[in-house]
Structure 1
Amino acid sequence: MTRRQRGWRIPAALVALSAVPLAAGTARLVELAGGPRLIPSDPRFTASPLPVIVHIVGAAVYALLGAVQFVPALRRRHPRWHRVAGRAVVAAGAAVAGSALWLTLFFPPEPGSGPLLFALRLVFGPAMVAGLVLGMTSIRRGDVPAHRAWMARTYAIALGAGTQAFTEGIGGALLGHSALVLDASRGAAWVLNLAVAEWAIRRTSPDRPRRARRARRARRVPAGLVVADRHSRGTGGNDGRDRRAAHHRREGLAADAGQWTRHPWPPVHSR
């Protein structure tokens, strides 16, 4: 597999994860347009279809176009396209979050759900809007790592519907089909997505190689301790005892690698 092909693995996985909600949304649009009923109908949506249409179309654009934004080669070779597509992604994300809040506040509750899901939607909806705003402000001031981090977190929230297809099935199989289980299973999907996003952000952080170099340096035995060990070998009758003491010091200090930067050896006495 070439490097270019490896760059498409994450976007392909994201599109695959969003396949279930995209298919359900497409079936809902067909029903609202007067076509055949492919999924169970919901009278809440047929009574006021506009927010539902905005939500489904915005989610489709955000899921598909947003996944392509994670391809490194496209960002490097086509920066203008990345900026134009990014503005469209932000607009679609705002439509998704705004319509989701509208559906939560002004539509009747979903059958089978409880107050926990209502509260979770009031948390993650504004969180998605805040992530979009922070991502845009970060790139306007030239902070590319912060921009990528906030856009990844926002995408993770939006992709919660895809993960919920799995967490709802697992929660229902293990704990039953009560309202609390349904709400907790959907909330677990958002938390899981954000946890994976944070792991990916920290894994690809520009400071990660620097932290690795610091950890390698911290594990090294300082030169001063080696000199002290060599010096103890020429101290006459105390040769064995001093050598053992230096060996114990070396083992004790090596067990706490973080101490090298705070307590150098040999110690420096204040005057």
Structure 2
Amino acid sequence: MTLREWRLPAALILLGLVPVIAGAARVTELGSSPEVTPDNARFVGDPVPVVLHIVGAVIYAWLGAFQFVPSLRRRRWHRWAGRVLVPCGLTVALSGLWMTFAYDLPAHDNAIVNGERVVFGSAMAVFIVLGLAAALRRDFGPHRAWMVRAYAIGLGAGTQAFTHAPYLIASGGEQPGANGRAGLMLAGWLINLAVAEWFLRRPPRTARPRPARQPRVAAG
């Protein structure tokens, strides 16, 4: 293994750090009999989908980052990790859809935000199923493409933290309105998918040829 091949996985792990920390805080809160507030009432009343979503997302985000290590992809580890990632990714997507339809709409969201969640949650689940089907028929090019796209959607919450940051700085910490939040969330998903498409379509790296050694001339 080389240091270069670990740069992308390390960046992906860091990108997932913000939602992982937020999710861990939410699970800790739910496990401590919290006071019910407008912000957490839907989670306290029905904690199962949010706990499944958070646990699945942590495993999916961090274990999935290692699938981008070339030396690991060439080993049996890649296949075994995939057997964990597929159910975790589907859990993330389907629990997100569950929460979208079952929970009351928060005051800071609107129907546009919920529509985005339905579109991208459904797309993530479909991409994982397409990727799994491609792997089962040993069609590894499409398998890789669909799984990369699904992972890009799954890391949307990490990028959304960065799309929200400039607004929060400019507004002095004031949260955006529902339409503004919808736009910032959409930007996070679209940025990730655009980067995923660039990653999939970039030309493969070719090894630089080493200069030929010059024959040594013996001193006369």
Q: Report TM bin, short chain.
A: 0.7 to 0.9
* Structure 1 counterpart of 2:29, one-letter code: E
Does the alignment pair 1:95 with 2:106? no
> Which structure is larger by alpha-carbon Rg, 1 or 2?
1
User: 1:15 is matched with which residue?
Assistant: 13
CA distance in 2, matches of 1:124, 1:171: 23
2:69 to 68, 71, 77: 71
Instruction: Give the aligned partner of residue 42 of structure 1.
Output: 40
Q: Using the alignment, how far apart are the partners of 1:173 and 1:119 within structure 2?
A: 27
List 4+ stretches of structure 1 deviating above 3 A.
171-176
**Whole-angstrom CA distance in 1 between matches of 2:203 and 2:147:** 14
Aligned to 1:179: 178
Over residues 12-46 of structure 1, what are the superposed CA-to-partner deviations in whole Å (9 max), with x where a residue is unaligned?
00010010000000011111111789xx9511101
* 8 A Cα contact 2:90 2:125, kept in partner: yes
Alignment partner of 1:27 out of 20, 25, 43: 25
Cα displacement (A) at 1:170 = 2.3
Measured after TM superposition, the shift of residue 168 of structure 1 is 1.4
Q: Report the CA distance between 1:169 and its aligned residue.
A: 2.1
Quote the residue 2:193 is aligned against.
Answer: 194
Distance 1:110 1:123 in 2: 19
1:134 to 130, 142, 150: 130
Q: Does 2:152 align with 1:156?
A: yes
Residue 115 of structure 1 and its aligned partner are, at CA, apart by 1.5
Task: Output the TM-score relative to the length of structure 2.
Answer: 0.85
RMSD: 2.1
**Unpaired runs of at least 5, structure 1:** 210-271
Q: Which stretches in structure 2 are left out of the alignment for 5+ residues?
A: 207-220
How big is each residue's C-alpha offset from its partner over 1:40-65, in whole Å with a ceiling of 9 and x where there is no partner? 95111011111111000000110011
Taking a change above 3 Å as real, the CA distance of residues 35 and 47 of structure 1, as seen in their structure-2 partners, is closer
- For 1:155 and 1:48, the matched residues in 2 are separated by 27
Q: Residue 68 of structure 2 aligns to which amino acid in structure 1?
A: F
Q: Describe the SS at the equivalent of 2:2.
A: helix
CA apart distance, 1:156: 0.3
Three-state SS of the structure 2 residue aligned to 1:113 is: coil
Counterpart CA distance in 1 for 2:20 and 2:84 is 18
Change in 2 beyond 3 A, CA 1:204/1:94: farther
Aligned length: 201
Maintained 8 Å contact 1:172/1:182: no
Identity %: 48
* Alpha-carbon separation, structure 2, partners of 1:116 and 1:204: 37
Letter in 2 for 1:144: F
TM-score by length of structure 1 reads: 0.70
